Amino acid sequence: MRTFTTLFDIHYLDRALVLYESIGRFLADFRIYCLCLDDSSFERIKRVDDDRLIPLHIKEEFYETKDFMTLVKHNESVPISKPAKKGKVAGLSDFHFALASFFTHYIMEKELPEDVLYVDSDIMFYSSPDLIFDSVEGKSIGIIRHRHNKVGCGVGGYNVGVIYFRNDEIGRRCLKWWRDVVMDKSNEWFPKYGFCGDQKYLELFESMFGNVKVLDDDIGHGAPWNLKLYEYFDDKMKIRWEGKIQTLVFIHFSHFNYTKDSYRAARRKEWSIYEPARRYYKGYFETLKSVRRRYKL
């Protein structure tokens, strides 16, 4: 049994369903626990007739609990459209960043899976997620690089879009530490690693906990910030990165923006579409439209 966690509201429900279906194309035996942030996403997910898709409502699970109240107190919720504060990223919602570790830790403690893979809801798998689980064999933690920058940069050298924890002593300890430092900013690491929500803290995983696997050694992955780094082939499942041909396991369509008739790589002008990679954007656009039709969104 493969265990996944993700989170979303009604605005990302279509993306979450694409994620779920892309996992289902490769795996039969899995569960994806979905933290629904509003009534609409929760009610619609409940209508999907698949016991592998498990919705949990944020209010029903967490409101009024001590840890959640701590998270709310220390993490501001910021609408995407709100202008950025000085020294901050536009639309940076610390509250939503904090939920990835918070929810994944909750599932680890409640469901006791062998391991768990947190995945952002705007990710689509192009090859089996088993390639990730195979890559982390013998390791307690698995993380991915941004690939376009270095460890120590402002947004961090690693990305939280996909992150793995084994349910062993090291994995549990790391996940709880990550949850705690994001939940409550009153910690010694915040001044240096708290700039970009939960993300820069990943740079401390190896030195503090060890037994970390950097997944980039084995798998290929894409995002708007690194798609321009690759050489592409007729086979859409292969890319060449730093001279090495890799299987493309997933693409993170972060900030993907679309209407009924058109799409963009970003909400504003964060990124533009790298033309050799346009076929992936076009395919994602068509898949989102298909999901919306089939689920009557």
pLDDT for 84? 45
Any domain includes 233: no
Residue-wise pLDDT for 76-88, tens only, equals: 876 654 444 544 4
Any domain includes 21: yes
Mean pLDDT, all residues of the chain? 92
pLDDT exceeding 70 applies to what percent of the chain?
Answer: 95
Least confident range from 87-91, 92-96, 149-153, 261-265: namely: 87-91
Any domain includes 195: yes
Any domain includes 286: yes
Residue-wise pLDDT for 110-144, tens only, equals: 999 999 999 999 999 999 999 999 999 999 999 99
Any domain includes 236: no
Any domain includes 204: yes
Any domain includes 235: no
**What is the band of 153 on the pLDDT scale with cuts at 50, 70, 90?**
confident
Quick check: 167 and 108 in contact, CB under 8 A? yes
- Please tell me the total count of domains within the chain: 1
DSSP the chain: -EEEEEEE-GGGHHHHHHHHHHHHTT-SSEEEEEEE-SHHHHHHHHTS--TTEEEEEHHHHHTT-HHHHHHHHH-----TTSPPPTTS-TT--HHHHHHHHHHHHHHHHHH--SEEEEE-TTEEESS-THHHHHHTTT-SEEEEE-SSS-TTSTT-SEEEEEEEEESSHHHHHHHHHHHHHHH---STTHHHH-TTTTSGGGGGHHHHH--EEEGGGT-EEE-TTTGGG-EE-SSTTEEEETTEEEEEEEEE-TT-EE-SS-EESSSSSS----GGGHHHHHHHHHHHHHHHHHTT-
Range of the domain at 209: 2-220+277-294
Residue-wise pLDDT for 180-216, tens only, equals: 999 999 999 999 998 788 889 999 999 999 999 999 9
pLDDT for 82? 47
The enclosing domain of 211 has a CATH number of: 3.90.550.10
Any domain includes 261: no
